[in-house]
């Protein structure tokens, strides 16, 4: 199965607002939800769907807990998760405080193995 793409017209408002460029944009085929993922996994192993749901929910809770404590969480071939901060810049470090934080960002870094597998296995075709 292929990843669909479409060609989209874009303007570069930063460098040259007059210039038009075209990019290839990935098109999603929809969403696979937690229920479907757990169902599929349960049919590929000896675990029941309830067991898989329990493990995935426990993993989500543990991931959140570890990130809140300031840890980077490395899940092997899945990749790494860590929190980042988006904030306002100040001319002097003494002016920075908790109020400078606009939001927290969840960073996901796929493993080298995941990136290599995806790079080799993705086929693309233009959206019809």
Residue pLDDT, tens place only, 51-98: 999 999 999 999 999 999 999 999 999 999 999 999 999 999 999 999
Least confident of 2-6, 37-41, 65-69: 2-6
Q: How many residues does the chain have?
A: 128
pLDDT confidence of residue 15: 75
Average pLDDT, integer, range 21-27 = 91
pLDDT confidence of residue 14: 75
pLDDT confidence of residue 12: 76
CB of 107 closer than 8 Å to CB of 98: no
Q: Cβ atoms within 10 A of the Cβ of 95, count? A: 11
CB of 28 closer than 8 Å to CB of 127: no
pLDDT confidence of residue 91: 92
Domain boundaries, the chain: 78-121
More confident site: 35 or 10: 35
* 128 pLDDT more than 90: no
* 16 pLDDT more than 80: no
Indicate the angle between helix axes 34-42 and 49-68, nearest 10 degrees: 130
Residue 83 φ then ψ, to 5°: -90, 145
Which two structure tokens, joined as six digits, stand for 81?
């998760």
* 121 pLDDT more than 90: no
More confident site: 51 or 119: 51
């Amino acid at each position: 199965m292929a990843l669909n793409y479409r060609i989209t017209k874009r303007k570069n408002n930063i460098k040259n607002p007059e210039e038009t460029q075209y990019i290839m944009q990935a098109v999603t085929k929809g969403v696979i939800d937690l229920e479907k993922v757990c169902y599929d996994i349960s049919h590929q192993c000896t675990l029941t769907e309830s067991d898989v749901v329990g493990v995935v929910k426990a993993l989500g809770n543990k991931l959140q807990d570890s990130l809140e404590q300031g840890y980077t969480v490395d899940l092997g071939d899945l990749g790494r998760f860590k929190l980042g901060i988006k904030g306002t810049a100040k001319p002097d470090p003494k002016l920075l405080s908790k109020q400078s934080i606009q939001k927290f960002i969840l960073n996901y870094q796929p493993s080298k193995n995941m990136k290599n597998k995806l790079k080799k296995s993705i086929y693309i075709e233009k959206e019809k």
